[in-house]
Amino acid sequence: MSPQNSARLKTLAGAPLDSWVALSEDETRIVAVGSTYKEVSEKSDQAGETDPIIVKTPAEWAPVSI
């Protein structure tokens, strides 16, 4: 797994489930959380993040085998 993927997964592991989440451009921080894409987009703008990565987290994380 690449270092970037590892950082993203570590950040997302701490994100609320079944929510929209905005990550910083470098994918190391959660900059906004909300119940809709629009809400998260507006919150990330207010936080000063110019190019966030916005994703929807699942209701439950699937187990992973490595």
Domain positions in the chain are: 3-56
Q: 53 CB contacts (<8 Å, ≥6 apart)?
A: 22, 23, 24, 25, 27
pLDDT tens per residue, range 8-53:
888 888 899 999 999 999 888 999 999 999 999 999 999 999 899 9
pTM of the predicted protein model = 0.82
Residue type at 53? I
Collapsed DSSP state (helix, strand, coil) of residue 40 = helix
Q: How much is the pLDDT for 64?
A: 67
Query: Is residue 65 predicted with pLDDT exceeding 60?
Result: no
- Taken as a whole, the chain contains a residue count of 66
pLDDT at 2: 74
**DSSP 8-state symbol, 4:** H
Residues 46/50/53/54 CA torsion (nearest 10 deg): 30
pLDDT attached to residue 61 = 82
Please give the pLDDT value at position 9: 83
